[in-house]
Structure 1
């Protein structure tokens, strides 16, 4: 592990493992045939759920929506450390000194993709579209997973409008004006919040996957079909969708003139090379993106090796030694011109406990003891060695790398593997084997069987086997309930589960997003565990009002300690992510907190045609 940690330190700056091939610039003869279509082909490892931003949380669906819709602001795709800049906004927001009033000017002349809902007319993006789009998160009909984030913002009048719909059991009143969301004129949006929100720019105004503008006419033209009929102002449009199988997107023919530009650091050789290669190119550079869903690791890996896929996101752990033996790109792949990039991901894997479950949930000493004993019984180092093939580091808290408050030196009991202490805790609180069958019972003597939701693919099966052995070693019996990932997510959201394993990726550099998983009002959304602790909620709410600094960092540290004590989640690892791409995919750079990247890459069909 010490060697791995030293290796990871060198990766923290997001260095690439091979020099990026920029490819030759080819001029087309005047009489040459039309160039071949530039198509990006790759695979998701988990199925999508749909494409309505207000109803999403999974990263796979959000990868699609990030390229269809557009938020007010975006991350500079080459800047490290990250930097925000306008997307549909004309400039950075005007913010009052108390961080309670945010005024944003929109760029005129931005249009939605053509759709019959617009009656054959060009439909311009206006400030009222963001008012409508933000209100949709409050509409109880959508049960938006992101409502908690919108509620956190404290937009004046929005929560009351939601509560009115809930109380009256009537349709949400989108036409009712509220003080906190106003279109001052056609291209000026004003947001007013109850308390100062220094991080509102990251929280709500950036992230096209969730906070891109939708058009009211489209939502109303296709009632009940918003998940399958996305229409935005972004660079791509959805052309084909076979659920859990295939998605095809094409260049938006009416996309505005937008050109490649960025501000990489002066000492960022890779970023500077990309900027020099592409600066001034019109976006997007691709004509088409074809995505399949391949859940099993072996066929996903083979499809890349065979050249059927141009890009492989996350080399499966079981093939990492073939792709990068001793941390270096395999010679055979290097000779083919394949490139690799590796980072410590801004993410965490975790075991989620349902805090409302009568067996593993609750806040009394014996319930906390059971969860902590389960946590102590889990051998994360073994998981890293055998399942993840060394491609991860232990997690000490919910806070993930590259976000505020993440400290590599921070240590908690979260990562401890101590079966002896687990057994002692169980004995102390009455979880003992009374009938001699080798399995512990509940303190009242009734049977104790844990149930974990899981998925039917090989990686989940390997993790389940390790967990089952770990728990058997301390006398705990566990069974598994298998379903597809989207089905499990739906069950967990509804509180119909006991234990689940899931991963979470940060979509912003603020650690508070990860801590929302423990915030009571976020239950049913980001708070999968349904953890509700008033002391934590007060801490979280105080954190919202503070700018970055020592006081806020101290609150983040306290939040980490509460997470480790009550253990509604047992965080396992931060994964080491390795992406590989074919030589004809040019310009790829691993994104940190954003999902939109297709418009910044190019495909050279002539390189693909070479033997």
Structure 2
């Protein structure tokens, strides 16, 4: 009897007419840091911004395989109509695109319209939202938007979402027109920011209120299935996603891109059914999870191979033989990113613009042994940074050399002596020029890798007679404090979101103090230079302004640029179609998973 049942089951599996459920394709990844929210106006951290562009969609996107980068329509029906002075941008939204189903819509399909993009930008201007991206939006100078925000600040009235400022108009159901106070030749890249400017439906925001960060509803390829804070995020295929097929435009001589296109062209997006993201904060568990096949790859932003294990995984830049036997692929890339240490310019100890305050920050920077950091802590996986501008963007010059890249404790000591930072009470530590105690307080996180950075910083500061204390907290909490101006010194990283190097200068722009400008640096001369740079087309005149901006940043030292990181990506052969993106975070819908190969390898 048992044999009969077994035979019947075997025949059922084998018979071509019997319907079979295909195995679920789950892409398994990991982050080193927890996400904070999935509401685009409330985020600025890398990890949350890696989730949101898979749920929300901007009008445009970057071609996944194109090198150099190419911007293409996503929800737009075509490229924008742009006025000759780059101040008026008119875009038509493609009809027939719908938001993912949600109880808020009461069983009705909700079509995407031009008004949704207007609403999404207006949300950033609403004072009640305390939007993290407002300073960025303000820098774009949409006509009348800042004035609209200020009116509500002055009147203390609820924000009026029904009236549209001059710079943000819906001409009809599907047509959006944006007017800028100043020319912006690179505004198309702004319209490709799905992470921050993807369309949000007004009725969803109003229904969920202050819980909107837990209920993201967009038009993108995935929707949020579950979120265990600090532990796990699961996205699932959006069943209402429109028919969209894989297509890309790699260069004719791009062998890697052409090979990926040949495998993937014509597949319906998203290709995988789910994406599971585990939060694994420590390096060793992260590496072990990869070796055990619990994640499909250590990839891209937020979860590449930990520096402590690069030598094991890719000694000499080649995949280790034991891993190569498993078909594991590896690639190393100098990132379009930067690690920085910032000084709170409003802090009474390290802040300020007077010569003695500038001297203190520059002395701290000169005492930081970045070469040792790269060799010992980062295991060689970085190159020294000379400025805030990152590789691969306009304004970056690999031949530019500055004090920002120097390690010179002798000069640091001389600066401190010259400006009166002496040990006046005989306790072995330098004091402030007025004789009061000088104590540096550096914010940090509890992970092992951060303890290594802290010990090196402590040693470097002790070498020049400066006393250091540390304020430990989880990364999301430290970010909140940083935005509120409550941290004195903190180290963190930043990645480019596009090809324009000016985005790296937002952190020095006075208008964005408390936003991207965590240092709260405010210098009218720099702001004037920044504004001039914004309206110029790319070319020699603009490059000259980049050089001047870099010199100002080095002179005042609100940030100590430390390194541009080298990322080591490694992935299993069952992950198909992966290529490290240059400036953007959305790619999960563009890869495939061979479930049978994965299961066979794990038996």
What is the aligned-residue RMSD (CA, Å)? Answer: 1.1
**1:122 aligned residue:** 109
Aligned 1:558-573 pairs, distance under 5 A? 558-573=548-563
Matched, 1:207 2:197: no
Matched, 1:294 2:280: yes
State the 1:140 CA deviation. 1.3
State the 1:29 CA deviation. 5.4
Aligned 1:508-587 pairs, distance under 5 A? 508-587=498-577
**2:594 aligned residue:** 604
**1:73 aligned residue:** 60
Matched, 1:463 2:453: yes
What is the distance in 1 between the residues matched to 2:450 and 2:19?
51
State the 1:160 CA deviation. 0.7
State the 1:31 CA deviation. 3.9
Task: Spell out, residue by residue over 1:547-577, the C-alpha distance to the aligned partner (whole angstroms, 9 max, x if none).
Answer: 1111111111110000100000000000000
State the 1:35 CA deviation. 1.4
Matched, 1:477 2:467: yes
**1:406 aligned residue:** 396
**1:3 aligned residue:** none
What is the distance in 2 between the residues matched to 1:177 and 1:308?
49
**1:177 aligned residue:** 164
**1:589 aligned residue:** 579
**1:232 aligned residue:** 218
Q: Structure 1: which 5+ runs fail to align?
A: 1-26
State the 1:436 CA deviation. 2.5
Aligned 1:255-266 pairs, distance under 5 A? 255-266=241-252
Per mean C-alpha deviation after superposition, the further-off stretch among 549-558 and 28-37 is 28-37
Aligned 1:183-332 pairs, distance under 5 A? 183-202=170-189, 204-313=190-299, 314-332=304-322
**2:80 aligned residue:** 93
The alignment partner of 1:167 has SS state of: helix
Matched, 1:345 2:344: no
The alignment partner of 2:89 has SS state of: strand
Matched, 1:372 2:362: yes
- Number of positions where the alignment pairs a residue of Structure 1 with one of Structure 2: 584
TM-score (structure 2 length as normaliser): 0.96
The alignment partner of 2:178 has SS state of: strand
State the 1:342 CA deviation. 1.7
Aligned with residue 149 of structure 1, among 136, 152, 166: 136
**1:140 aligned residue:** 127
**2:3 aligned residue:** none
The alignment partner of 1:225 has SS state of: helix
State the 1:177 CA deviation. 2.2
The answer as to whether partners of 1:67 and 1:236 remain within 8 angstroms in 2 is: yes
**1:440 aligned residue:** 430
State the 1:30 CA deviation. 5.3
Per mean C-alpha deviation after superposition, the further-off stretch among 371-380 and 337-346 is 337-346
**1:42 aligned residue:** 29
What is the distance in 1 between the residues matched to 2:543 and 2:278?
42
TM-score (structure 1 length as normaliser): 0.94
State the 1:33 CA deviation. 2.4
Task: Spell out, residue by residue over 1:359-391, the C-alpha distance to the aligned partner (whole angstroms, 9 max, x if none).
Answer: 000000000000000000000000000000000
The answer as to whether partners of 1:341 and 1:590 remain within 8 angstroms in 2 is: no
The alignment partner of 1:171 has SS state of: coil
The alignment partner of 2:583 has SS state of: coil
**1:54 aligned residue:** 41
The answer as to whether partners of 2:87 and 2:183 remain within 8 angstroms in 1 is: yes
The answer as to whether partners of 1:342 and 1:578 remain within 8 angstroms in 2 is: yes
The answer as to whether partners of 2:337 and 2:390 remain within 8 angstroms in 1 is: yes
Runs of 4+ aligned residues of structure 1 deviating over 6 Å after TM superposition are: none
What is the distance in 2 between the residues matched to 1:523 and 1:550?
29
What is the distance in 2 between the residues matched to 1:211 and 1:509?
17
State the 1:28 CA deviation. 11
The answer as to whether partners of 2:73 and 2:79 remain within 8 angstroms in 1 is: yes
What is the distance in 2 between the residues matched to 1:534 and 1:331?
56
Matched, 1:363 2:353: yes
The alignment partner of 2:278 has SS state of: strand
What is the distance in 2 between the residues matched to 1:171 and 1:491?
27
**2:412 aligned residue:** 422
Q: Structure 2: which 5+ runs fail to align?
A: 1-13
State the 1:595 CA deviation. 0.8
CA gap of 1:29–1:463, structure 2 versus 1, over 3 A, is: farther
